[in-house]
Amino acid sequence: MLSSQLLLIHGPNLNWLGKRDPKHYGQLTLADIEDLTRQTAKQNSFQLSTYQSNHEGALIDTLQTRTSNTVGIIINPGAFTHYSYALYDALLDTQLPIVEVHLSNINQRESWRSISVTAPACIEVIWGEKEKGYVRAVEILANHLRTTP
């Protein structure tokens, strides 16, 4: 029996994965990434629920309504990474360990992409590893939850 719930949240335009620039975002679709992350979660004795929205308020609503039975969060905030202090506040308010993931290397793109206002709410940020970043995020959360009282 799986013991704990993780929440995977995807921000704007990530529903277009598989159609977007593969150089930055890879070949996989959002469903492919969710399946890979779900498999990794299961291997680490977690269940995984997922959510994607192109709307900032919907992401915040999800954080406020779906985290009461959640032990950790993986989030790719998309472009909200760079300016959504409201999303930062909502992440912080969960009081959960969070790993931020970016498929592309945000530090090797436009200068504005290297700024993450959501990162300070997270225990770690992963960028530039495409789908492998989601696998690592699960492993980071699993290790954190095993070792933190």
pTM: 0.93
Q: Is the pLDDT of residue 24 over 50?
A: yes
Task: Please give the positions annotated as active site.
Answer: 25, 102
CATH superfamily of 4-147: Dehydroquinase, class II (3.40.50.9100)
pLDDT band with cut points at 50, 70 and 90 for residue 3: low
User: What is the average per-residue pLDDT within 92-107?
Assistant: 91
**Residue 143, number of CB atoms within 10 A of its CB:** 11
pLDDT in tens, 106-127: 776 777 767 889 999 999 999 9
Domain spans of the chain, in order of start: 4-147
Residue 81 CA from chain centroid, whole number? 11
Structural element, H or E, at residue 89? helix 85-94
Q: Is the pLDDT of residue 25 over 50?
A: yes
